[in-house]
């Protein structure tokens, strides 16, 4: 057992960006990741909205990432049932929106950290509080332990640190999502726009990352027919093509020629907004951030950006109050983030309910609440987490 000052659990977007934000404020941390190497393959890509770019600017990596992806000009929703087509100009009405390969964001955050910040193959098993010193004791699967001064749980939607804080487990939507990347060696000639195609209960999104690479996803009702879908890309591809058999040829072709290694299947989870409004997200010198705190559906494309915002606000508070007053810094962080995270999670939850097979009454109430609470439905992107 040895002593470490600031221990971050999980080297996803939140853990890496929190370590980087602390590093920029002169605070050393160590990140303990359960995987053997950087988890930069799963999940294909994510869309980053203007609020996320503001956070990346503060972390000093936005310009590096801008070189990896094109700015999107428009967002289009095409109903394949023959009706409406909605279109908004992203560039003029919303601001900077780009789709990033997860590999690029993870690799860039990692490269900006001092060497040996991340320790791999370190799976947290439990957190306990030392009854004498009240310091957190972290126990890992390999039998080792650490007494930490500060613990930041960025260990995702099945967080062990959240269990220590007695947070209710994340809930599940009756929806799942398949994601993939398709590479076009001779260029794809698609417009620089985020297009969603809707038909029946399915939604397919298509977003160019650059002139050769396209990210796509398919949101569908969760209906597990074949267990192998969790692991086997062939099954993911086969099932998706079967579901989309009456979708346009170009969509089917994109899925047929997708990079098999990039395919993933995920049941969608969320932390209930009512738990976010009342939950205790820190105890003593232990706190959660990112998906461990507020996992949300992907419908607004805000989970990753909210994790980046967390990193900036958390590091700012720790730097302002110092490690000797970290409990107060955590309380301030939780207070400052509560309304922001609650609003974006609530809006996401309503969209999730509208896309799920919930009752007509539930859907009607959701529509009413969206109209009442989110008059400007794009306002979640206007948020500015402030300077680091």
Ligand X SMILES: Cc1cc2nc3c(=O)[nH]c(=O)nc-3n(C[C@H](O)[C@H](O)[C@H](O)COP(=O)(O)OP(=O)(O)OC[C@H]3O[C@@H](n4cnc5c(N)ncnc54)[C@H](O)[C@@H]3O)c2cc1C
Write down the least CB distance from residue 245 to ligand X, Å: 22
Q: Of the listed pieces 245-253, 255-263, 285-293, 378-386, which binds ligand X according to CB under 6 A?
A: 285-293
Is residue 12 a contact residue for ligand X (CB under 6 A)? yes
* Binding characters for ligand X, 150-169, by CB under 6 A (x = yes): ----xxx---x---------
**Closest CB to ligand X among 19 and 251?**
19
Rounded Cα gap, residues 87 and 71, in angstroms: 16
34, 121 contact by CB (below 8 A): yes
Which is nearest to 383 in space by CA: 336, 332, 321?
A: 336
Write down the least CB distance from residue 6 to ligand X, Å: 15
Write down the least CB distance from residue 10 to ligand X, Å: 2
Is residue 290 a contact residue for ligand X (CB under 6 A)? yes
Question: CA-based Rg of the chain, rounded to a whole angstrom?
Answer: 21
Q: Of the listed pieces 13-21, 228-236, 277-285, 350-358, which binds ligand X according to CB under 6 A?
A: 13-21
**Closest CB to ligand X among 104 and 291?**
291
Write down the least CB distance from residue 144 to ligand X, Å: 12
Is residue 148 a contact residue for ligand X (CB under 6 A)? no
One residue of 10, 273, 279, 352 binding ligand X per CB under 6 A: 10
Is residue 233 a contact residue for ligand X (CB under 6 A)? no
Half-sphere exposure of 225 (CA within 13 A, CB side): 8
Is residue 96 a contact residue for ligand X (CB under 6 A)? no
Q: Of the listed pieces 189-197, 237-245, 248-256, 286-294, which binds ligand X according to CB under 6 A?
A: 286-294
Rule CB under 6 A: which of 23-62 touch ligand X? 32-35, 39, 43, 46-47
**Closest CB to ligand X among 178 and 254?**
178
Write down the least CB distance from residue 269 to ligand X, Å: 8
Non-local (6+) Cβ contacts of 318 within 8 A are 22, 25, 27, 150, 326, 329
Write down the least CB distance from residue 341 to ligand X, Å: 11
Q: Which residues bind ligand X (CB under 6 A)?
A: 9-15, 32-35, 39, 43, 46-47, 123-124, 154-156, 160, 177, 179, 266, 290-292, 298, 301-305, 307
């Amino acid at each position: 057992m040895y002593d470490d000052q600031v221990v971050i659990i999980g080297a996803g977007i939140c853990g890496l960006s929190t370590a980087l934000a602390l590093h920029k404020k002169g605070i050393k941390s160590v990140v303990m990741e359960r995987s053997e190497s950087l988890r930069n393959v799963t999940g294909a890509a994510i869309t980053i909205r203007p609020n996320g770019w503001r956070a990346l600017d503060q972390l000093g990596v936005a310009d590096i990432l801008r070189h990896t992806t094109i700015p999107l000009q428009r967002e289009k929703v095409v109903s394949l049932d023959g009706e409406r087509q909605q279109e908004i100009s992203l560039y003029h009405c919303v601001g900077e929106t780009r789709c990033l390969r997860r590999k690029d964001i993870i690799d860039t955050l990692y490269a900006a950290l001092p060497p040996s910040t991340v320790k791999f193959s370190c799976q947290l098993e439990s957190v306990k509080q030392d009854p004498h010193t009240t310091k957190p004791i972290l126990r890992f699967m390999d039998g080792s332990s650490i007494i930490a001064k500060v613990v930041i749980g960025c260990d995702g939607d099945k967080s062990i640190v959240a269990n220590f804080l007695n947070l209710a487990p994340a809930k599940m939507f009756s929806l799942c999502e398949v994601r993939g990347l398709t590479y076009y060696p001779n260029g794809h000639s698609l417009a620089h726009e985020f297009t969603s195609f809707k038909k029946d209960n399915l939604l397919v999104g298509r977003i160019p990352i650059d002139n050769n690479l396209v990210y796509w996803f398919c949101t569908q009702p969760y209906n597990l027919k074949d267990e192998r879908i969790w692991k086997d890309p062939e099954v993911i591809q086969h099932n998706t093509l079967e579901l989309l058999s009456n979708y346009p040829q170009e969509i089917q072709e994109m899925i047929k020629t997708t990079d098999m290694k990039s395919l993933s299947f995920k049941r969608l989870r969320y932390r209930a907004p009512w738990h976010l409004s009342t939950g205790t997200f820190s105890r003593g010198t232990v706190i959660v951030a990112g998906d461990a705190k507020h996992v949300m559906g992907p419908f607004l494309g805000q989970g990753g950006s909210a994790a980046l915002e967390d990193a900036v606000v958390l590091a700012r508070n720790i730097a302002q109050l110092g490690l000797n007053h970290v409990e107060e810094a955590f309380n301030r962080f939780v207070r400052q983030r509560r309304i922001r995270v609650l609003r974006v999670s609530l809006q996401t939850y309503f969209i999730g309910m509208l896309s799920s097979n919930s009752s007509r009454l539930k859907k009607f109430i959701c529509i009413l609440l969206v109209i009442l609470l989110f008059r400007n439905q794009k306002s979640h992107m206007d948020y500015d987490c402030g300077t680091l």
